[in-house]
Chains A and B, each alone.
Chain A
């Protein structure tokens, strides 16, 4: 039976602030799941802590709302144990790039076939608006007592440097474009990262919806342009086709350079994509030949209430 968009929604009351960018992201995820026709009980949403952490409760698949900064650890564990699951992890930029930055980098090295979406708004919303890792040095959002004393993390650059094999950015108010990015991210064979610009209407009074729309750029309405533009419309070619060192270097470098663009022009779309790097499961299969056919979650471990594992060879070798 084909599933409708509404099948992916739960009845849980959504308590995000009116106008929150998170709504666009959760809608885009549900639309993507529906469009891909992923069975609800074959998908699992993992989430971190904060406003974005509640996402897993709003989506009618398995939903695991984990701990601050740790979402990738749970998600990778589940995917490794049961590679049949479609695994999507979500969290805020404080969650993933502050407390969870170590896991972010390590996940890149592992390249587990799953998707990680960061809800990137520059503030810690649920604790009343402190500066988060993507807020720029010297910026002062409205509830900060004084301007931010830390430099910002570049999420795209960090992902590219850490080994993520699909790196993209979306905008929460361009839901269709975001939905398409999510589909590509989920279909990507390897670890995909989506940095989603998501205005926090309550605490981030700098990077607002109007700001992204370029409302402050010029006086005359007809000359205004959105700050946001799409890489694919500029002929940006992010895909690694041959995996030669020179090609990879070139694609990584251009992604990194693009990731530095900010201010009056902010790129969204795919920065980097390389499916020629082996996903973690393939690396496991190199050691465990029947890993895909008989992964941890599928293994039968007992017979008549007793173990079916035969360690007699090992015990023989220990016997004196």
Chain B
């Protein structure tokens, strides 16, 4: 049986149902046993600008997207203009035939730089600047075209079911697109209908109309479209597979590991996590009364962080969730938390900076900022997850670290994570342990919150317990927490706090500090969401007999210098792969390990890396044909 590796792309104006279309498609593919990796791209805009979803489907584990699109479906002109060239030879484009005459000047959301590039390309090919023009280019490349009038389909459907309202219902176009696609690739219609039922489970009448439309267009594709090279008829389903969205990993992790307070301020791409958490605020607790998580929308990120700290002082596991600009506002409070040894978790879904940057686009831009955030020296942990599945378990670890070491923990996630939809193994909450460190249940007289202890960690009281009184201050303090400016005590307290960094490196198991996927002559170091494209690229090279090593850093601060340098002992050429301009991990690496990065593969276009482009860059490096700094550019 030939292996399946199929990428489906749906595009349309924001607000036209691209995302729900992609959800239906992903759900159907996952139900049919395939592994799914989908990513969503969108503008900072509510309605009208171009958004798209690329869903990769395979019969083996996949961790990223690839460049080639196998089947594209489009109900607007912009999607065709922007993506026609991504469809590979042998692939197909289903499009609305009403659009054929449209030229680039008619599509107001096509920006000038893009239009200029497209026009230059079409001039070279001697084609008009129209949908017909670009589709001719695709056809000449070997792409099959499937024109269909979406308007006619709706008209016929409305006649058939006797519902005149359906006639002009353009918001059904997404369902038509998905159903035409599934019909073309011969996916069983039942799973399509089930998936629609599932997605519109709270609105049965809407589900009914959508199912009628789905059935109709599915049959239309079966009866009218010429044959396609690809059929996805299902494969062996792996038991215990979930289809999960990026932000759900940390949100579910927070529910499970006992985060009971999350103040937040809305920011892309972080707020989806908080909104999801609030929509599941009531929690079922084994053998106990129901629990809950208080999700509080605050007036700004400063308040979000302040409230999270206030919550943490009561012994509540507390967190906030933000992105770069919001995290920037939290840094003064981060220092306060460090000074007062408050366990608090900041989930940081990075996006492209600097400043507002590309607010809805991807970037691993804030590693150095997180590591160095705050004025003065204080201990903190910066921890990075490589994928959604990791992020669930890592969330549990982050809360444990925060409480064991009594430090703020910054959990680094990013936009690539947040807007991916993937299949993975069902999360297992029992794999998470809960360790609250030196949190006290009762306190004897004479309690000193900042008692100088051998391991540098003081027993931790909390607000409201008998005899538990303590003081906190952002000033330097004595063991009780009262202000001091005594030079000797200052040095003792500073040393005590900072000794925590060594303790962290000593106590956190090495397997949680970094993951080695093998070390070879050429070995990659990377962190965060770059993991997926790297794993897939390595896999592609392995098939050609080329072995590339990979060490994924997870504990970014304090930097596990000894461990990483021992792991990399046998690596001759170090390749840094990450989604930012300056190679931030590379800088941290050199600072801590005094070893040069030989090559950097960087991407800062705001789009997630594909495994194809990482593969291409790695191959150039192995063939000794690469620049020291390879910059990746794929993606609309």
* Residues B256 and A67 in contact, CB atoms below 8 Å apart: no
Taking CB atoms and an 8 Å cut-off, the chain B residues in 411-437 that contact chain A are 423, 426-427, 429-430, 432-436
User: Chain B's interface: helix, strand, loop or mixed, by majority?
Assistant: mixed
- Stretch touching chain B among A77-85, A163-171, A258-266: A77-85
Q: Encode A68-96 as 1/0 by CB contact (under 8 A) with B.
A: 00101111111111101100000000000
Residues of B within 8 A of A56 (CB): 471, 473
- Stretch touching chain A among B40-48, B205-213, B240-248, B572-580: B240-248
A75 and B25 CA atoms in complex are apart in Å by: 47
| 21 A–B contacts, CB within 8 A, in A order | A10-B482, A42-B464, A57-B471, A57-B473, A62-B468, A62-B469, A63-B469, A63-B472, A66-B336, A73-B306, A73-B307, A75-B310, A77-B307, A77-B311, A81-B314, A81-B318, A106-B303, A296-B311, A307-B432, A309-B284, A315-B426
* Residues A307 and B483 in contact, CB atoms below 8 Å apart: no
Q: At the interface, yes or no: B302 with Cβ under 8 Å from chain A?
A: yes
Give B405 Cβ to nearest chain A Cβ, in Å.
18
Give B581 Cβ to nearest chain A Cβ, in Å.
32
* Residues A303 and B286 in contact, CB atoms below 8 Å apart: yes
Nearest A residue to B258 via CB reads: A301
Give B344 Cβ to nearest chain A Cβ, in Å.
10
Q: Encode B32-44 as 1/0 by CB contact (under 8 A) with A.
A: 0000000000000
* Residues A309 and B256 in contact, CB atoms below 8 Å apart: yes
Q: A82-B463, A305-B434, A310-B286 are in contact. Are A296 and B260 (CB under 8 A)?
A: yes
- Stretch touching chain A among B163-171, B289-297, B540-548, B593-601: B289-297
Give B268 Cβ to nearest chain A Cβ, in Å.
21
* Residues A78 and B471 in contact, CB atoms below 8 Å apart: no
* Residues A80 and B294 in contact, CB atoms below 8 Å apart: yes
Give A95 Cβ to nearest chain B Cβ, in Å.
13
Residues of A within 8 A of B286 (CB): 303, 308-310
Kindly identify which residue among A63, A288, A301 contacts B257, using a CB–CB cutoff of 8 Å: A301
- Stretch touching chain A among B60-68, B110-118, B133-141, B275-283: B275-283
A74 and B296 CA atoms in complex are apart in Å by: 13
A56 and B482 CA atoms in complex are apart in Å by: 9
Residues of B within 8 A of A62 (CB): 463-464, 468-471
Q: At the interface, yes or no: B30 with Cβ under 8 Å from chain A?
A: yes
Nearest B residue to A306 via CB reads: B430
Q: A76-B310, A78-B463, A85-B463 are in contact. Are A67 and B470 (CB under 8 A)?
A: no
Q: A73-B302, A307-B256 are in contact. Are A64 and B472 (CB under 8 A)?
A: yes
Taking CB atoms and an 8 Å cut-off, the chain B residues in 468-491 that contact chain A are 468-475, 481-483
A103 and B426 CA atoms in complex are apart in Å by: 41
Kindly identify which residue among A10, A81, A319, A320 contacts B310, using a CB–CB cutoff of 8 Å: A81
Q: At the interface, yes or no: B607 with Cβ under 8 Å from chain A?
A: no
Interface size classification for chain B: 35 or more
Q: A78-B310, A297-B314 are in contact. List 20 more A-B contacts (CB 8 A).
A: A41-B469, A46-B310, A60-B469, A65-B483, A73-B310, A290-B290, A290-B292, A296-B314, A302-B258, A305-B434, A307-B258, A309-B291, A311-B255, A311-B283, A311-B284, A314-B252, A318-B248, A320-B242, A320-B243, A320-B423
* Residues A306 and B433 in contact, CB atoms below 8 Å apart: yes
Q: At the interface, yes or no: B321 with Cβ under 8 Å from chain A?
A: no
Nearest B residue to A310 via CB reads: B284
* Residues B303 and A73 in contact, CB atoms below 8 Å apart: yes
A32 and B263 CA atoms in complex are apart in Å by: 32
Q: At the interface, yes or no: A179 with Cβ under 8 Å from chain B?
A: no
* Residues A301 and B260 in contact, CB atoms below 8 Å apart: yes
Q: At the interface, yes or no: A102 with Cβ under 8 Å from chain B?
A: yes
User: Chain A's interface: helix, strand, loop or mixed, by majority?
Assistant: mixed
* Residues B291 and A65 in contact, CB atoms below 8 Å apart: no
Residues of A within 8 A of B435 (CB): 305
* Residues B474 and A66 in contact, CB atoms below 8 Å apart: yes
Interchain residue pairs A-B with the least CB separation, the first 7:
A77-B310, A73-B306, A301-B258, A77-B307, A106-B299, A65-B473, A296-B260
Q: At the interface, yes or no: A12 with Cβ under 8 Å from chain B?
A: yes
Residues of B within 8 A of A41 (CB): 464-469
Q: At the interface, yes or no: B585 with Cβ under 8 Å from chain A?
A: no
Q: At the interface, yes or no: A293 with Cβ under 8 Å from chain B?
A: yes
* Residues B471 and A81 in contact, CB atoms below 8 Å apart: no
A306 and B464 CA atoms in complex are apart in Å by: 25
Q: Encode B432-465 as 1/0 by CB contact (under 8 A) with A.
A: 1111100000000000000000000000001111
* Residues A309 and B310 in contact, CB atoms below 8 Å apart: no
Kindly identify which residue among A60, A80, A301, A318 contacts B311, using a CB–CB cutoff of 8 Å: A80
* Residues A319 and B309 in contact, CB atoms below 8 Å apart: no
Q: At the interface, yes or no: B298 with Cβ under 8 Å from chain A?
A: yes
Q: Encode A276-298 as 1/0 by CB contact (under 8 A) with B.
A: 00000000100110110111110
